[in-house]
Amino acid sequence: MFEITNVLGETRPVTQLYSWNEDSKDYAAYNCPFCCSAVSTQRNVVACENPWCLANPMMPVAEAQKLRDKASTREREEIERKRNHELAMIRIREDNERRIHGYQEFAIRVRAVNGCLRCSNQYHDKIRKHRAECPKAA
Ligand SMILES: [Zn+2]
Ligand SMILES: [Zn+2]
């Protein structure tokens, strides 16, 4: 087991290391722990070649820092997005509860004056009463 250190000095262990013998030559390969690119000594590659990978030794540190910042911004945005979604769900739930609660209160008021719940309008706060049976009841 060995570890790869990227240009920012962050270290991750290599989880899969392969070695084989071909034409009497020993080769080794692993997947870059930072980007999963295959790194193989068969192609004379000893470090990650992915131009966007922070473990690529050719990656300038300033560029790597920029990529890292961008990644953390994305993560922050993702967290923010999730949080907003949760807040929206809570708001919808509260709205529903308030609506249901509001209707219950309205219904109590309608019943208290012997009004017709079917014809009364909660949103316009209008309570209708009928002398006889509700015309909409039929
Ligand atoms: Zn890589
Ligand atoms: Zn009615």
Confidence of residue 42 (pLDDT cuts 50, 70, 90): confident
Distance 60 CA to ligand 1 centre (A): 14
- Ligand closest to the CA atom of residue 135: 2
- Ligand closest to the CA atom of residue 114: 2
Helix (H) or strand (E) segment spanning residue 132: none
Distance 119 CA to ligand 2 centre (A): 4
Q: What percent of the chain has pLDDT over 90?
A: 74
Helix (H) or strand (E) segment spanning residue 100: helix 61-112
Please give the full DSSP string across 56-95, using - where no structure is assigned: -TTS-HHHHHHHHHHHHHHHHHHHHHHHHHHHHHHHHHHH
CA distance 96 to 16: 52
Average pLDDT over residues 27-32: 91
Q: Is the pLDDT reported for residue 44 higher than 80?
A: no
Distance 35 CA to ligand 1 centre (A): 4
Distance 72 CA to ligand 2 centre (A): 60
Q: Is the pLDDT reported for residue 138 higher than 70?
A: no
Classify 28 as helix, strand or coil: strand
Taking only the tens place, the pLDDT of each residue in 59-111 is: 999 999 999 999 999 999 999 999 999 999 999 999 999 999 999 999 999 99
Distance 99 CA to ligand 1 centre (A): 54
**What is the model's pLDDT at position 136?**
84
Q: What percent of the chain has pLDDT over 70?
A: 99
Average pLDDT over residues 9-20: 91
Q: Is the pLDDT reported for residue 124 higher than 70?
A: yes
- Ligand closest to the CA atom of residue 128: 2
Task: Provide the whole-model pTM.
Answer: 0.53
Do 119 and 127 touch, CB atoms closer than 8 A?
A: no
Structure tokens at 124: 């316009």
**What is the model's pLDDT at position 17?**
87
Distance 57 CA to ligand 2 centre (A): 80
Do 36 and 16 touch, CB atoms closer than 8 A?
A: no
